[in-house]
Structure 1
Amino acid sequence: MDSSGGQQERLADVDGGHGYLPNWSPDGHKLAFVVRTNTSDHRADKSYQALQCAIGVFNLQTHQARLVATPAQTGQQWNINPTWSAQSDRVTFTALNPVNNVLGGMPRYWSAQINGSTGETQVIPISPIFSHVVAWG
């Protein structure tokens, strides 16, 4: 979209489920977003407890979107709140299960290293289970 709101372009089909905002990379070439991964589970349309979501990245230069952190990679239902590193090569995000008696709900911070040449992603936890502060070094 241009500065006047015209020339809108659809970047990706997303249903982050319940209002998660996208985040532009500092270099302005990528957009991180939350995407729902269980679109066929209609329980998640009404209940956040059933929602499963991943972190996606859209590359404005290649016009390609891909998932960089999924529930299968983190073992958590929700992968939300993507934030870019200053170099635009990593996305830090929060991964957690909904708060309930079975799954828990304690958030952890994770980092997805974005490798532009191969399209591969390395997803690693970067905080202990009880940490609540993220700082880039």
Structure 2
Amino acid sequence: MSQATIGGRNQALNRAAILATLTLILFLTSLIPPSPTGYAAAFPGQNGKFVVTIDTSGSWDLDTFELYVITENASGKNLKRLTYNSEFDFYPAWSTDGKKIAFSRRSQAGNYDIYVMDANGKNQKNLTNTPTIDEVVPAWSPDGQKFAVSSCPNGDFDFDAEEYNCLEIYVMDADGSNKMRLTDDNGQEDYGPTWSPDGQKIAFGTNRDGNREIYVMDADGNNETNLTNHPADDGFFAPYWSPNGEKIAFTTDRDGNWEIYVMNADGSNQTRLTNNDSSDSIPVWSADGQKIAFKTNRDGGNWEIYVMDTVGGNQTRLTNTELQVRILDWQSLGNKKN
């Protein structure tokens, strides 16, 4: 056999070996799970914008509740309206990459569904679209692949009348498919689920013990545990995890009015952060873990956003508008720059 023939055969074998190696590398790479798409507002990152539900009538007319985006140094010129309709839009939640907003909408027919839209308000899409079932209060999972929601299987949810006892906690894919029930309390209220930053736990409010408490459970619905265990109303508003997953902020009326508290993730060391005669509620952590924003009516009855340190210091008014801020969430930009 000639030297040229041997050389050609060796080159062919080398090419075959390289091709096999590349094929193996591509196969192994495909087995690696995708990394998270980003972070929700409860997860580490740089602080972004607020998305808020604003009562444009100022008189608790639910059909005038619209969604706005507002920057941290907000004033009138920093408010940008996202929704324009005669339906009830509420409980907005930033996506894990900060590019989309999920929210609850009540149609004119009285049905509640989960919607998602771009961060600029465009491309609004109904994810659930279930006329006989109500879904509210969406919460993105840390990897952006799922939602936890509160849902009434019989469609009897009534926000106006505070008829919440039909609500149970469900998990579904981010496109609205594969809905799976996690809680089953036979007519008791399970409400306001929020994921822990590591995706292993879900905290929520419930009245299964005769009053509203904050509970936590595994992400598959197992090992439900009462965290607050107090005779007051601790679970009417959704709890909110700190970015490092070590603490949970919540609203309670144990002092005679709504105040902001923080506790360890196991329920210990429950500490009061606000202390005034007005109502302070709906605390949300900043993505950098340094601040907590909340809504309050301490300035004469109008609901505004305040920001404070995580130990309750330096409480500072953020918004100053005649519009009524009802619900808020704080965007995380992950490690990206503004």
Paired position in structure 1 for 2:250: 33
Equivalent residue for 2:303, pick from 75, 89, 107? 107
Q: CA deviation digits over 1:66-122, x for unaligned, max 9? A: 0112225xxxx210111110012211000016xxxxx9531111112025xxxx633
Contact 1:32 1:58 in 2 (8 A): yes
Secondary structure of 2:218's aligned partner: coil
Gaps of 5+ in 2: 1-216, 332-337
Deviation at 1:31, TM superposition (A): 0.6
Secondary structure of 2:271's aligned partner: strand
Equivalent residue for 1:85, pick from 283, 286, 295? 286
Residue 218 (structure 2) pairs with residue 2 (structure 1): yes
Paired position in structure 2 for 1:122: 314
Q: Name segments (4+ residues, structure 1) moved above 4 Å.
A: 131-137
CA spacing shift, 1:109–1:9, aligned 2, 3 Å = same
Deviation at 1:63, TM superposition (A): 2.7
TM-score (norm. length: structure 1)? 0.63
Residue 265 (structure 2) pairs with residue 60 (structure 1): yes
Please say which structure displays the higher CA radius of gyration: 2
Task: Report the number of matched residues.
Answer: 110
CA distance in 2, matches of 1:104, 1:31: 29
Deviation at 1:12, TM superposition (A): 5.2
Contact 2:308 2:314 in 1 (8 A): yes
Paired position in structure 1 for 2:34: none
TM-score (norm. length: structure 2)? 0.28
Deviation at 1:33, TM superposition (A): 0.4
Gaps of 5+ in 1: 39-51, 98-102
Which residue identity does 1:63 align to in structure 2?
S
Which residue identity does 1:128 align to in structure 2?
N
